[in-house]
Amino acid sequence: MGIQALTSPVILFFVLGLLAAFARSNLEIPEAIAKGMSLYLMAAIGLKGGIEVAESGLDGTVLAALAAGIAAGFVMPVYAFWLLKGFGRLDRLNAGAVAAHYGSISVVTFVTAVEIYTIQGIPPEGYMVAVMASMESPAILAGLLLARGIGSDSGQTKKELAHEVLLNPSVVLLLGAFFIGMVAGPLGFDPVRPFFDGLFKGILCLFLLDMGLIAARRIMDSRALTWRLVVIAIFLPLLNGALGTTLGVGIGLDPGSAAALGVLCASASYIAVPAAMRLALPEADPGIYLTMSLSITFPFNVLVNIGLIGALAGMLTGSGAPLP
């Protein structure tokens, strides 16, 4: 990651949250405010992505990126599951629950990566927002099938699960805002631009401060992690990031978009998937899947892996993106 990215307030606020929590400071952001910031960020991301597509239009590259994202969402949980069962020594239920997290995506990791890659001069295309939204549901379905299959659940649970997978708040808001941006276009966006554009980086800084606090405190409180699971929580984002970036370059994405696909593959969900797992696999241990995704993988991606993925995209495309 370049010096500019390391000294960006976005990264430094996250580090501040980590340090404050490890020092046992009482600093905290009220839950209602944190939720409001999350809604704001997803709406802003979706709107700006839709506007980008409205300007550029849908073409073969966009469709290829969508297909790649959906395929990755189905495939990544499969090998994650066997790694978690074998090396990680988890039972089938917990391995499936964790695997679903590592096939899905983290919106905040993606937003952070977009800011960093923009600083580095390789901004991803706006249609990557649609790719991001498309990767949530396949991973959840794959994880459930690996854990035990949804056929054993009651009819009511199936209905609730389908609702959670297809209509969870992050997917609805991201896709809804994306289509609003496509319909409104740049001219329709202008009246709300000061709110959704001008405040974006400042709110992202505060949100990452909160994420740093939560991640560090969960590490200190966790008793479910083993050294094997910590290794997996770092190995999977490295592997998935490299595979996703290579796939992006292979289908003809520009360096920033290929890196963004790599980041999406490398990230692990800690919002939408935990909600689905609580409903579908209540016996699974959240102390394992939440701590791995939020407290190990998320900080690793933000502080290290985003830079590595950007450098790999630059190397594969010959664009000369900054080395970490």
Domain boundaries, the chain: 3-24+31-317
Mean pLDDT, rounded, for 78-87: 96
Q: Look at residue 217 in the predicted model and tell me its pLDDT.
A: 87
Helices (H) and strands (E) in the chain, counts: 18, 0
What is d(CA 298, CA 181) in angstroms, rounded to the nearest whole number? 28
The closest alpha carbon to 123, from 241, 22, 253, 246, belongs to: 253
Position 152 confidence tier, pLDDT thresholds 50, 70, 90:
very low
| pLDDT, tens only, 197-206 | 889 889 989 9
**Average per-residue pLDDT for the chain:** 85
The domain at 3-24+31-317 falls in which architecture?
Up-down Bundle (1.20)
| pLDDT, tens only, 38-71 | 888 878 888 887 887 787 677 888 899 999 999 9
Q: What pTM, to 2 d.p., does this model score?
A: 0.81
| pLDDT, tens only, 164-205 | 666 767 667 877 888 898 899 889 999 999 999 889 889 989
Q: Look at residue 31 in the predicted model and tell me its pLDDT.
A: 87
Mean pLDDT, rounded, for 80-91: 95
Looking at the chain, how many residues does it have?
324
151 vs 319, which has greater pLDDT? 319
